[in-house]
Amino acid sequence: MAQTTVVEPYTGPTPKELARKHGLSTAGRLPSLPEYTRLLWSYRHFIWEFAGAKVSASLGNTRLGMIWQVLTPLFNAGVYYMIFGVLLNTKHGTDNFIAYLCAGVFIFGYTQTVVQTGVQAISGNLGLIRALHFPRASLPISITLVEARNMIASMSVLIVIMLVTGEPITWQWLLIIPALLLQTIFNAGAAMLVSRLGSKLHDLRQLIPFIMRVWLYGSAVLYPVTQYTQHLHGWKLAVIEANPILVYIELIRHALMENVKLAGSPVLLWTEAAIWALVVGIGGYAYFWRGEKGYGRG
Amino acid sequence: MADTEKIPTVIADNAHIIYRIHGSIGPNQSSPLSSFKRLVTRQKSTAVREVHAVKGASFVAYKGEAIGLIGTNGSGKSTLLRAIAGLLPVERGGAIYAAGQPSLLGVNAALMNDLSGERNVTLGCLAMGMTPAQVKEQVDDIIEFSGINERGDFSSLPMRTYSSGMSARLRFAIAAAKKHDVLLIDEALATGDAKFRKRSEQRVRDLRAEAGTVFLVSHSEQSIRDTCERSIWLEGGVIKADGSTEDVMKEYETFVKK
């Protein structure tokens, strides 16, 4: 820089020493994981507000507004009732197939929408990321919160379907709360995982629909889980029965319905559900945190 | 400002900044076949391009200073501000050190356009790390300062209905609501009307008086002359001059007129 015209020639300590002397930190330093977690906790109000803002922004220009939160799962259930209940009259050896189907569709839909929107959590909010300073994990977590809120509406619809189709209310119904909590942790981890992947690999967005479709057919959503035991053996069966979404769907069906054939014993299912939530939740969080400083680069 | 004890707030030490742009599809890859050929021949995709925006910037900014950043369009001014704010990482070379958490406020700062101005104020304040109680206290002041309600109740309308000047004013008002050790302003003052410009320049002076450092990027020579006594001239990602606004401006003007 030959043309630099410095007012007073600089003869002090080196920039690094000067920075340390006055307690300046590197712009864009990666905080430690506990530090990051504390920071994220202090931004909880922002996360909550951002989730609310997302919902109002997406439904704000519709006439019915928030009613769509309930209408969407209702229409979903209605479509499946039309096709499987009225047109095809599918039973698959299950007493209450419509309720069985709806439980699967709603639980699968929860993870599906989180993954689909999560993959764009970073790349779709670059403007915000390049303008303001907040822990980036707020974005995928907000997305999970938005869907968790929608899930409450879906669950109320599901409970009505259960009652209408003649399932008795038992104390077991309370089990949907821990099951949904575990699924939410799993979803948050998955959202963080795909949002970091999606911020680097923009092509991932094009692949997600196919991945989700394979996952759908492997999660016993549209047919009973007994189909797998009849047709698959060995490692293929083991892989499909360890599928996290299948586990979460089975837990909900087990909680809400009588006489359903499960993929495994309830104890096994609960253990699998907890392990999946912990592994994906913590793993996804740590993976996302490692990339924290690079998200602004695009 | 005492010369004996100058406290540095931002130190840039030979910083190189590179950012990547996705989605600029070049003329040779508009068909699937050519994209496939590119994959097979392992050519680098032109859909992801790297821009070396700042090439080795070094300077020290002190407490109480207001520094103007000038340069022609695309000279790397905004990128440098983003790097100071820690929003863009420094690629190689040295590093940028800063006191506290510098805050960037610019016309590019995207708030949510579908939400009302009032909710954007809440969201913006929370994103800056304020507590809900502080936000509640400040919302009215911020809207008042931005002056968007001068023509009726605009604060409850979605931001997409605002004129560009109005939304820039609101963004400035939000960012200026918090005390910052280092405040980075990107073209924000240029968009408001004369009345608002005056008010915001006053606010910049207040912020400096509270012992912060202010960086100002602007194409308006007047607002730089009015608010900054030191200027840095960036050209093509390289610092061409750094000194008192008068001197740097003179050099810059002869360069532009060439």
Q: Residue ranges of the domains in chain B? A: 8-102+180-257
CB A239 within 8 A of CB A219: no
B35, B79, B87, B182: best to mutate for the A interface, most A CBs within 10 A: B87
Interchain CB distance below 8 Å, B86 and A56: no
**What does the pLDDT read at residue A190?**
94
Higher-pLDDT residue of B25 and A159 is A159
CA distance A43 to chain B (A): 7
Higher-pLDDT residue of A180 and A125 is A180
Interchain CB distance below 8 Å, A24 and B127: no
* Least CB–CB distance from B8: residue in A22, A28, A128: A22
**What does the pLDDT read at residue A183?**
94
To which residue do tokens 């690079």 refer?
A: A294
In the DSSP assignment, the letter for residue A168 is P
Q: What is the mean pLDDT of residues A246-268?
A: 85
31-50 of B, contacting A, C-beta below 8 A: none
Q: What is the mean pLDDT of residues B197-226?
A: 78
Rounded percentage of chain A residues whose pLDDT exceeds 70: 91
153-172 of B, contacting A, C-beta below 8 A: 158
Distance CA B71, CA A219 (A): 58
Interchain CB distance below 8 Å, A45 and B132: yes
Higher-pLDDT residue of B92 and A237 is A237
What are A216-233's pLDDT values in tens digits? Answer: 888 888 777 777 777 777
Does domain B8-102+180-257 fall under CATH 3.40.50.300? My reply is yes
Higher-pLDDT residue of A276 and B66 is A276
Has residue A4 got a pLDDT over 50? no
What are A109-164's pLDDT values in tens digits? Answer: 899 999 999 998 888 887 778 777 788 899 999 999 999 988 988 898 889 888 88
Q: What is the mean pLDDT of residues B55-69?
A: 83
Interchain CB distance below 8 Å, A298 and B89: no
190-219 of B, contacting A, C-beta below 8 A: none
Has residue B213 got a pLDDT over 80? yes
Average pLDDT across chain B, whole number: 77
**What does the pLDDT read at residue A228?**
79
Distance CA A132, CA A145 (A): 21
**What does the pLDDT read at residue A286?**
93
Distance CA B18, CA B12 (A): 15
**What does the pLDDT read at residue A179?**
92
Rounded percentage of chain A residues whose pLDDT exceeds 90: 28
ipTM higher than the 0.85 cut: no
CA distance B92 to chain A (A): 13
* Least CB–CB distance from B84: residue in A10, A16, A27: A27
